[in-house]
Structure 1
Amino acid sequence: MNYIKILSVIVGFGTIGSLSSLFAKVQGWLFASSLEIFINQELAVTNISQFIIKLFCVWVSCFLGGIATTKIGGKARENLIVGKLIMLVMGWLWLSVVNPIWFWVLMVLGVLPCVFLGYKVTYAEMSKT
């Protein structure tokens, strides 16, 4: 059993979770209504820009999580594991919040490409040196 690969999955997953939470907190400080868009149906309809910002923040977190996973020593397989774990978390959040469907579909569909983009960028950079 290779402990570096296990550690890379833990670090990648933790990076995505931590950064997503941090970005959500910052968004809440900047736009107080962003904390209520999943609860208040009227805000959900009128604040589409807040959903776009949240979507972008999660995708950036996934990209950075792919970088962290690869830097620790993970390869494509470990990044796939991290992406699938994050997709499971997104699925659980989707079931507990529900609205709006377009937001959750885009988020889940963007997780693996963003994680693998982080992997590709880092792997290409590490291959050069």
Structure 2
Amino acid sequence: MQSHTRSMIAAAAFAVLTGRKVAGLYDHTAKRDLRIAAEYRDGGIQGVDGDRQAKFGGTLPEIFDGGDRSHISFEVEGDAARGYDRASSTFFSAQVADGLVQVYDHGSSQWFAYDVQDADAPAAYHRTANQA
């Protein structure tokens, strides 16, 4: 699975599982901030990946990545999410805790961690790369 797909999944997982908006992510693997935003409401996710100038969204259980022009199945299971990236033919799972999203990419058999800049949280709550 491509790294931008994992970050899109992380943003969607945070928005869907917490009901809060994503204003950015810090990718621990790449050691950089990502310009990505997402919001979930009324059963649908909408977002934008500013680094790729690509929109993503849809009504669950489907998310369309406008940049890759591909679909991702995305299902909520309790306090976690799981699904399938059709572009890479790869399954994933994601969990959210305390502003951190962890995505397990079954294709590479690895966990990837993302700190979330939560648009709905007070300014003091926002994590930065230096705090991670």
Using structure 1 for the length normalisation, give the TM-score: 0.28
Please say which structure displays the higher CA radius of gyration.
Answer: 1
Normalising by structure 2, report the TM-score: 0.27
More helix by share: 1
Q: Considering Cα pairs closer than 8 Å and 6+ residues apart, tell me whether 1 or 2 has the greater RCO.
A: 1
